[in-house]
Structure formats: structure tokens, C-alpha cells
């Protein structure tokens, strides 16, 4: 039963200090002690709320009226873009309605919020909406505002429809770094001590950068890496101007690097770096790794079909294979070569593979990864379907490959086809120490971020779930914990 408050009174306590007394339905006295907390504590509490809810606290009392304006978190999200129906609604709007009318409403709202903000610093500044270079001047001012507030996490999550980058994507301006593009070309990457407007901007506080549909060049990225001593996380998603990426030098603080769907990217160099995690989704391009002793977490999802993908990727990551602990690969449409023996991944504990479940040699390829990962403890297998007639797809049997350390297996994208069942049965038979198996009909892979999202076939997932419960579960021994999501 919820409690409603019927009356509010002001009463002097023993020290003569006036307190707010609230009575509920049963006339029980409830004191408002939150309002008596130090102002800084109240601000930190309000900073945990979504921005719209934080603003709503201004009606509580005179003391709360301006609390939200000191919030250290500016998550400027007006709608939930993680909701598929919301995304589809905006994707179906015509350009003028979405990008002009709705975009202008969003820009006006953000400008109003920033005008009201009175805090001295910001921990997180996030913009998320369908915005392009039509609104460049406003976005420039927002970034400048965030920098002047010594922002720690900067997120420009600019949405669009359709695949890949667009010519009208917002471009991060050189002027915010204190120089023109021509000066970068002639003088190299500037430092914060070399003079210029950027001396007055809080780059030294930046810890996290996430840009989506923001055009940045390799020079701009190098500027951030060289001049942000606390920058540990960098994520670039659909950066139209990125051609060459260099992460070079032990003085760079970067530990987590994520590069996704940058179609013009031609080369990546990571050298003498303290990087711990590397996520790459895109075309197969030259990747130069040297002296990266801390790199233990690698994700490589290709954009196109490459027959020799597995061999090439293992060659590219050869300098760090011995210490990789987490490996996630998309090996769909990659040809299995029985004569190519994978190198041993002695420290690998977690393996995630996205495979074509109906590929003729799928089980043999799975066995080769199991042999190469003798101490693996968790396996996530994403089962994709390539053939049109999935019910008659046939896959070859594979030799036994007993594994003694693998304890947990998750099957994602499960369907009740024979080829999927064979993968599960093969693992049940060969994973000697298996403790838990999770069957998940939902696929963890989807369209690239920023693309139009199609609603998943709920009926197909439910049919797969029913099959996993009614048929597959009966095949599992009681010693294995069986979970169907």
C-alpha cells in the first residue's frame, strides 16, 4: 500500500531550528530529513536521476528549486532510444519532420538546459538525437560548454537512418582544438602548452569519449590521446573522416579502444601502448600491433565476407595471442581449413564465436577452437543461419575433442533446426566438466548502431524457446544446470 502525505507543517525543534513535518494518511509524523542534508550531498543524489526527473525536483521547495541546475550529470535524452518502437517511429518520419522539426525542438531544449546550469563541473555530458551538420553551430557550443565545465565523460550520440556514414554527418571542428586544419597538416599534433584557445578548455579532465556519427580525423584523435592525460576510454562509431588511426606511446593513458563501422578507415597502428581492451567492427584492414603486453580482451567483427578471415586475424594478433583472456570473433562465411592448426591460446578463459550453424564444416571448426583454447572456462556460441532452407541443412560430424576446463556454455540465436541441435549435442558430449548450459533464442548480434532497426521475429524466438524446453532439455543429464532464457 502506498503512502500519501496529507499535510506539511513547519515546527521549531529544541535547538530552535525550524523543521519540515509531514503527516501521512494515518497522521503519523514523517520528517523531511533529505532536505536537511548538505547541499553537495543533495546535488550528488539528484545527479543520479534522469535529467527530466532531476528538473522535476525543483517544485519540491524553495531550497530544491535550483538544485538540479548544479547536477554533475547532463544526460540529454528526451526519449528512450533503446526501445525498438521509438527508434522505428523516428526512422519512419520524413526528413523535414525528424531532422528539422524534431531536431530543432531538441536543440532548443538543450540550449535552455545549458543556460540554466550553474554547476562548476560536469562528470558526464551526453547528447543523443537525430542531428546532422545542420546543427553544427549548436553542437560546437555544447562541446565548448562541456569542456569549460571540465567534463569527464563526453558522449555525442548522433543518430541517423540507413547504413554507414552520411555526407551531412556532424564534423568535429579543428577550431575547438585551437587550430585550423591546415595548421595541423603543417605543424603536426599540437600540445596544450603550445598556446591557443584550447589552453582554456578542460581537456585534462576527459576520461571517456564516445562519438557516433561524428566526423573525426586521425589528427583529431591523436590530439585527444596526446592532450588528455586521463583519457582511458575512446569509442568511435561511424566516423566518416577517419582514415588512419595511431595509438602510439607509453605516455598515452588509453586502455579501452572501440572502433566500429568506420568505412574509410584504412590502417590501424597500436604500438608501445597500455591498451587493455580492443573492439573492432568493420572491414578487414591492416592492423599493426607491437608491444601491447596488457591487451587481454579482443573483439573483432568483420563487416564483409572473408574466406581467410580466421587465418588473417590470428596472424594480426600474433604479438599478443599468448596473453589474451577474452576473445570474440565473427567467423561467419570464413572457410574452415583442416590443414590450418590454430595457435594455442594458453590464457584464454572466455571465447565468443559468431558462426554459420548450417555451414558444412561448422563442427570441425568449433573443435579446432576448442583445441586451441585448452583452459577456456566459458563459451558463447552465436548460431547464425546462411542457407534459405534451414530445415534440410546438413553439417558433417566432427572428431571427438574432449575439453576438461570448460564449465559454462551459452547458445545464442538458437533455433530448433537439426544443425543447431547438433552443436548443442556435440558440446554436451565433449565438454567433460560442463556445469551449466544456457539456451537463448535472442541473437546478440544485430544491425550496426545507427542503422534502422527491424523488430525481431517474436514468433520465431518463441518457437525456438518451446523446442529448447520440450525437446532439448530432455537430452541433458541432471548434473548439468539447464537454463532457457
DSSP string across 257-268: EEEE--TT--EE
Residue 314 class from Cβ within 10 Å (0-12 exposed, 13-18 middle, 19+ buried)?
middle
The rounded Cα 22 to chain-centroid distance in angstroms is 44
Q: What residue ranges of the chain have pLDDT lower than 50?
A: 1-10, 12-16, 18, 195-200, 447-456
Q: Residue 479 is placed in which grid cell?
A: 548434473
**CA angle at 366 for the pair 362 and 371, rounded to the nearest 5°:** 150
Position 162 in a domain: no
Q: Taken in order 42, 45, 48, 51, is the CA torsion positive or negative? A: negative
Give domain status of residue 3, yes or no.
yes
Sign of CA dihedral 132, 134, 139, 140: positive
Check residue 389 and give its pLDDT.
63
Please name every residue paired with 234 in a beta bridge, in sequence order, or none if there are none. 209, 257
Q: Is there a domain that residue 442 lies in?
A: yes
Helices (H) and strands (E) in the chain, counts: 12, 22
The answer to whether 22 and 5 are in contact (CB under 8 A) is yes
Give residue 16's domain range. Answer: 1-32
Residue 355 in domain: yes
d(CA 298, CA 285): 16
Query: For the range 323-326, what are the long-range contacts, defined as Cβ-Cβ under 8 Å and sequence gap of 24 or more?
Result: 323/293, 323/295, 323/296, 323/347, 324/295, 324/296, 324/297, 324/298, 324/348, 325/296, 325/297, 325/349, 325/350, 326/296, 326/297, 326/298, 326/350
pLDDT of the residue at 94? 73
User: Which pLDDT value is given to residue 392?
Assistant: 66
**Is residue 229 within 8 Å of 205, Cβ to Cβ?**
no
Residue 115 host element (H or E): helix 103-116
Residues with Cβ within 8 Å of 148's Cβ and at least 6 positions away in sequence, in order, are: 200, 201, 202
DSSP letter for 456, please: P
The residues near 233 (Cβ < 8 Å, ≥ 6 apart) are: 207, 208, 209, 210, 254, 255, 256, 258
- 325 within domain boundaries: no
Contact in structure between 83 and 57 (CB atoms under 8 Å) = no
Q: Supply the pLDDT for residue 27.
A: 54
pLDDT (0 to 100) of residue 18: 47
Closest by CA position to 153, among listed 82, 47, 58: 47
- Could you give the number of structural domains in the chain? 2
Q: What is the pLDDT of residue 178?
A: 76
pLDDT at 252: 94
What is the reported pLDDT for 164?
61
Looking up cell 572428431, which residue turns up?
399
**Beta partners for 282?**
302
For residues 28 and 22, give the distance between their C-alpha atoms in angstroms, rounded to a whole number. 8
Residue 366 maps to a domain: yes
Q: Which residue has the cell 591487451?
A: 295
**Three-state secondary-structure class, residue 349:** coil
Q: Element (H or E) spanning 102, and its range?
A: none
Nearest by Cα to 83 from 75, 71, 74, 91: 91
Angle between helices 136-148 and 103-116 (to 10 degrees): 30
How many whole angstroms separate alpha carbon 45 and alpha carbon 37? Answer: 10
Inter-residue contact 209 to 224 (CB < 8 Å): yes
β pairing state of 256-260 and 277-282: parallel
Closest CA to 250 of 229, 224, 236, 277: 229
Looking at the domain assignment, is residue 340 inside a domain? Answer: no
Q: Which three cell numbers stand for residue 113?
A: 538546459
Structural domain includes residue 389? yes
Residue 328 main-chain phi, psi, to 5 deg: -130, 120
SS3 401: coil
pLDDT score for 43: 66
Amino acid at each position: 500500500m502506498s503512502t500519501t502525505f496529507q499535510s506539511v507543517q513547519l515546527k521549531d525543534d529544541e535547538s530552535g531550528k525550524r523543521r519540515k513535518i509531514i503527516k501521512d494518511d494515518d497522521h503519523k509524523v514523517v520528517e523531511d530529513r533529505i532536505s536537511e542534508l548538505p547541499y553537495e550531498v543533495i546535488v550528488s543524489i539528484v545527479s543520479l536521476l534522469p535529467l527530466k526527473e532531476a528538473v522535476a525536483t525543483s517544485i519540491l521547495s524553495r531550497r530544491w528549486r535550483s538544485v538540479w541546475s548544479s547536477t554533475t550529470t547532463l544526460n540529454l535524452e528526451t526519449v528512450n532510444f533503446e526501445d525498438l518502437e521509438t527508434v522505428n517511429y523516428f526512422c519512419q518520419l520524413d526528413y523535414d519532420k525528424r531532422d528539422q522539426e524534431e531536431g530543432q525542438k531538441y536543440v532548443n531544449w538543450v540550449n535552455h538546459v545549458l543556460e540554466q546550469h550553474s554547476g562548476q563541473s560536469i562528470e558526464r555530458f551526453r547528447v543523443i538525437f537525430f542531428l546532422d551538420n545542420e546543427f553544427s553551430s549548436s553542437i560546437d557550443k555544447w562541446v565548448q560548454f562541456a569542456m569549460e565545465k571540465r567534463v569527464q565523460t563526453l558522449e555525442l550520440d548522433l543518430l541517423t537512418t540507413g547504413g554507414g556514414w552520411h555526407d551531412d554527418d556532424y564534423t568535429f571542428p579543428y577550431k575547438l582544438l585551437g587550430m585550423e586544419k591546415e595548421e595541423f597538416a603543417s605543424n603536426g599534433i599540437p600540445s596544450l602548452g603550445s598556446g591557443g584557445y584550447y589552453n582554456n578548455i578542460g581537456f585534462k579532465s576527459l576520461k571517456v569519449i564516445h562519438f557516433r556519427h561524428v566526423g573525426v580525423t586521425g589528427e583529431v584523435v591523436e590530439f585527444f590521446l596526446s592532450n588528455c592525460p586521463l583519457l582511458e576510454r575512446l569509442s568511435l562509431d561511424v566516423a566518416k573522416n577517419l582514415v588512419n588511426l595511431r595509438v602510439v606511446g607509453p605516455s598515452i593513458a588509453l586502455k579501452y579502444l572501440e572502433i566500429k563501422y568506420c568505412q574509410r578507415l584504412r590502417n590501424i597502428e597500436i604500438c608501445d601502448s597500455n591498451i587493455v581492451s580492443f573492439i573492432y567492427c568493420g572491414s578487414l584492414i591492416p592492423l599493426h600491433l607491437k608491444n601491447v603486453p596488457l591487451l587481454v580482451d579482443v573483439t573483432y567483427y568483420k563487416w564483409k565476407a572473408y574466406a581467410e578471415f580466421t587465418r588473417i586475424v590470428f596472424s594480426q594478433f600474433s604479438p599478443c595471442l599468448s596473453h589474451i583472456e577474452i576473445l570474440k570473433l565473427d567467423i561467419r562465411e570464413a572457410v574452415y581449413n583442416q590443414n590450418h592448426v590454430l595457435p594455442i591460446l594458453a590464457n584464454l578463459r572466455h571465447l565468443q564465436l559468431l558462426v554459420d550453424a548450417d555451414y558444412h564444416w561448422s563442427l570441425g571448426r568449433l573443435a579446432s577452437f576448442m583445441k586451441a583454447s585448452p583452459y577456456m572456462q566459458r563459451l558463447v556460441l552465436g548460431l547464425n543461419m546462411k542457407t534459405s532452407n534451414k530445415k534440410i541443412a546438413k553439417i558433417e560430424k566432427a572428431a571427438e575433442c574432449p575439453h576438461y576446463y570448460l564449465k559454462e556454455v551459452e547458445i545464442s540465436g538458437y533455433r530448433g533446426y537439426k544443425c543447431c541441435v547438433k552443436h548443442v549435442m556435440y558440446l554436451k558430449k565433449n565438454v567433460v566438466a560442463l556445469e551449466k548450459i544456457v539456451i537463448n533464442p535472442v541473437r546478440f548480434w544485430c544491425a550496426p548502431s545507427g542503422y534502422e532497426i527491424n523488430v525481431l521475429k517474436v514468433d520465431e524466438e518463441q518457437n525456438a524457446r518451446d523446442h529448447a524446453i520440450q525437446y532439448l532439455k530432455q537430452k541433458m543429464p541432471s548434473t548439468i544446470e539447464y537454463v532457457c532464457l
